[in-house]
A and B are shown apart, each in its own frame.
Chain A
Amino acid sequence: MSDALIRLEQVGVTFAGEAVLDSIDLSVAPGQIVTLIGPNGAGKTTLVRAVLGLLKPHRGKVWRKPRLRIGYMPQKIQVDATLPLSVLRFLRLVPGVDRAAALSALQEVGAEHVIDNPIQTVSGGEMQRVLLARALLREPQLLVLDEPVQGVDVVGQTELYNLITRLRDRHGCGVLMVSHDLHLVMSTTDQVVCLNRHVCCSGHPEQVSGDPAFVELFGQNAKSLAIYHHHHDHSHDLHGSVVAPGTHVHGEHCKHG
């Protein structure tokens, strides 16, 4: 993929002698939504930090498109209670942003009503939208979202994922996000990367959800999902799980057939 925004090749990260990430290949193209899923401790946040340049991988290389503008939405943000900061002022920490620009970004994410509120009083769901607005104000080519729906109720989660898809459509930016919600992510993402320190499997959501590695990683949940996405042109593997033939990419260290 020569038009990639970012490309990781054989990236490895080691903490205290233990491999947290091993031989990771990953790329994100403009307009593509790539979702990282995996259990706790799978290295999702570490991988995001490597993509963002907050952490230098010990092996492999991270290539970014020259002058790539990244909009980053952290997992959560805790502003010290003594800092009197309105949402508007928070957004204006991005250089060159005036009230009109901040307001239109907030309108885009549906949070314009909190513009003059102190940032410490904004609720969890609204805060995620405010953070998304700040990422958008950078006019990003690549949006990086670390668990964007954390602390949001189920209805709000669906809304947020739909919003992310709409933003991708409108701005044409690539999206890399972390999630551990299987069902909601499936309908909104172009590519799923299943991570457990190495890339277990990756591909289109419907193909990945039938992959034995995926089933192994997520257990019963994944099986119901696989049935949900049942196709007639499938084949079965030894476990009886659905695999669309030849369509998913195995990671180097996949232990299954």
Chain B
Amino acid sequence: MADFLLYALLAGLSLALVAGPLGSFVVWRRMAYFGDTLSHAALLGVALGFALDVSPALAVTVGCLLLAILLVTLQQRQPLASDTLLGILAPSTLSLGLVVLSFMHDVRIDLMAYLFGDLLAISTTDLAWILGGSALVLLLLAALWRPLLAVTVHEELAMVEGLPVAGLRLALMLLIAVVIAVAMKIVGVLLITSLLIIPAAAAQRHARSPEQMALGASLLGVTAVCGGLAMSWFKDTPAGPSIVVCAAVLFLLSLALPKR
């Protein structure tokens, strides 16, 4: 097997594994649009990373975190609904990212790679970031699993029972930010949320416990990555979109299967 295909496979599989449980939380907590906004802001992070000459992965993570904090502050300060705020922030940050990039004449980047991913061009450094980031997020998710679940079920009950609710909420945003930074190279900023949401939504109908849903979503994600890469290898389709198409097909299949 060619090296680049092996790297692509490893990167895609590790992302799919972590996207299962994290995506389940995104579905349960109705954070889909929030994830979308963070991923749009990721492009601004990339641009600032180039402008300030820091690693894009680091810049994206920090950028997503700043946006999350900005969003929480805005939610508390004025009466506009969350989806309106997200609808303002998502295109604004994406556009600002594109504008900033246009000022940097000495930087030539392939915009399509950032928007839709460039899985087959992953370097060993990229792979190290992706594996490390995924492992970190997976470990933290496992450690925080029950408290996060308790907060998802009922925040006030969790608070009375002594859980640090605000901290847990922030931790979840942080984990999503890290995964977005990691996933950008794989499926691009426009497609990241689909990888979080579609496998979780597909697993939902047939799961009987939160853990079953998380694990099911991981397995479906792994299947989608393998299928998408196969399509890309044999039919020369773009890798990121091929993975998303596979995930969507799995989702449709899950609807067709009778609910047990």
Task: List chain A positions with a Cβ less than 8 A from chain B.
Answer: 52-54, 70, 72, 74, 77, 79-80, 82-86, 89-90, 93-95, 134, 138, 144
**Residues of B in contact with A, size category:** 20 to 34
Q: Work out how many contacts link A and B, with CB atoms closer than 8 A.
A: 57
Q: Which of B144-168 contact A (CB under 8 A)?
A: 146, 149-150, 152-154, 156-157, 159-161
Q: How long is the Cα–Cα vector from A185 to B252 in the complex, in angstroms?
A: 53
Q: Which of B123-157 contact A (CB under 8 A)?
A: 146, 149-150, 152-154, 156-157
Q: Return the contact of A84 from the options B30, B156, B161, B213 (Cβ within 8 A).
A: B213
Say which one of B56-64, B108-116, B203-211 lies at the interface with A.
B203-211
Question: Which residue of the partner chain A has the closest CB to B154?
Answer: A77
In the complex, chain A residues whose CB is within 8 Å of the CB of B149: 93
Known: A77-B154, A93-B150. A52 touches B212 (CB 8 A): no
Q: How long is the Cα–Cα vector from A94 to B146 in the complex, in angstroms?
A: 9
In the complex, chain B residues whose CB is within 8 Å of the CB of A52: 156, 159-160
Please classify the interface of chain B as helix (H, G, I), strand (E, B), loop, or mixed, using the class held by over half of its residues: helix
Q: Are A86 and B208 in contact (CB under 8 A)?
A: yes
In the complex, chain A residues whose CB is within 8 Å of the CB of B204: 82, 84
Q: Are A86 and B209 in contact (CB under 8 A)?
A: yes
Q: How long is the Cα–Cα vector from A93 to B156 in the complex, in angstroms?
A: 14
| Chain A CB within 8 A of B27 CB | yes
In the complex, chain A residues whose CB is within 8 Å of the CB of B201: 82
Smallest CB-CB A-B distances: 9 pairs = A72-B160, A93-B150, A83-B28, A84-B207, A52-B160, A80-B28, A82-B204, A82-B27, A77-B154
Q: How long is the Cα–Cα vector from A15 to B146 in the complex, in angstroms?
A: 34
Q: Are B160 and A84 in contact (CB under 8 A)?
A: no
In the complex, chain B residues whose CB is within 8 Å of the CB of A138: 161
Q: Which of B10-52 contact A (CB under 8 A)?
A: 27-30
Q: List 24 A-B contacts (CB under 8 A).
A: A52-B156, A52-B159, A53-B159, A54-B160, A72-B160, A72-B161, A74-B154, A74-B156, A74-B157, A77-B153, A80-B30, A80-B152, A82-B201, A84-B204, A84-B208, A85-B209, A86-B208, A86-B209, A89-B209, A93-B146, A93-B149, A93-B150, A95-B146, A144-B160
Given contacts A54-B159, A74-B154, A79-B153, 6 further A-B contacts (CB under 8 A): A53-B159, A77-B157, A83-B28, A84-B208, A84-B212, A138-B161
B39 to chain A, nearest CB (A): 21
Q: How long is the Cα–Cα vector from A86 to B209 in the complex, in angstroms?
A: 7
Task: List chain B positions with a Cβ less than 8 A from chain A.
Answer: 27-30, 146, 149-150, 152-154, 156-157, 159-161, 201, 204, 207-210, 212-213
A146 to chain B, nearest CB (A): 10
Q: How long is the Cα–Cα vector from A158 to B78 in the complex, in angstroms?
A: 44
Q: How long is the Cα–Cα vector from A85 to B208 in the complex, in angstroms?
A: 7
Q: Are B161 and A82 in contact (CB under 8 A)?
A: no
B141 to chain A, nearest CB (A): 16
Q: Are B153 and A90 in contact (CB under 8 A)?
A: yes
Known: A83-B28, A84-B204. A72 touches B209 (CB 8 A): no
Q: Return the contact of A93 from the options B153, B159, B160 (Cβ within 8 A).
A: B153
In the complex, chain A residues whose CB is within 8 Å of the CB of B212: 84
Most chain B Cβ neighbours within 10 Å, of A54, A70, A84: A84
Q: Are B157 and A84 in contact (CB under 8 A)?
A: no
Question: Which residue of the partner chain A has the closest CB to B158?
Answer: A93
In the complex, chain A residues whose CB is within 8 Å of the CB of B154: 74, 77, 79
Q: How long is the Cα–Cα vector from A85 to B213 in the complex, in angstroms?
A: 10
Q: Return the contact of B161 from the options A80, A89, A90, A94 (Cβ within 8 A).
A: A94
Q: How long is the Cα–Cα vector from A72 to B156 in the complex, in angstroms?
A: 9
In the complex, chain A residues whose CB is within 8 Å of the CB of B210: 83-85, 89
Most chain A Cβ neighbours within 10 Å, of B29, B150, B153, B204: B153
Q: How long is the Cα–Cα vector from A89 to B145 in the complex, in angstroms?
A: 13
Q: Return the contact of B156 from the options A54, A79, A80, A134 (Cβ within 8 A).
A: A54
Q: How long is the Cα–Cα vector from A79 to B154 in the complex, in angstroms?
A: 8
Question: Which residue of the partner chain A has the closest CB to B152?
Answer: A83
Question: Which residue of the partner chain B has the closest CB to A90?
Answer: B153
In the complex, chain A residues whose CB is within 8 Å of the CB of B160: 52-54, 70, 72, 144
Q: How long is the Cα–Cα vector from A140 to B39 in the complex, in angstroms?
A: 44
In the complex, chain B residues whose CB is within 8 Å of the CB of A90: 153
Question: Which residue of the partner chain A has the closest CB to B213?
Answer: A84
In the complex, chain A residues whose CB is within 8 Å of the CB of B207: 84
Q: How long is the Cα–Cα vector from A220 to B27 in the complex, in angstroms?
A: 50
Q: How long is the Cα–Cα vector from A90 to B157 in the complex, in angstroms?
A: 12
In the complex, chain B residues whose CB is within 8 Å of the CB of A84: 204, 207-210, 212-213
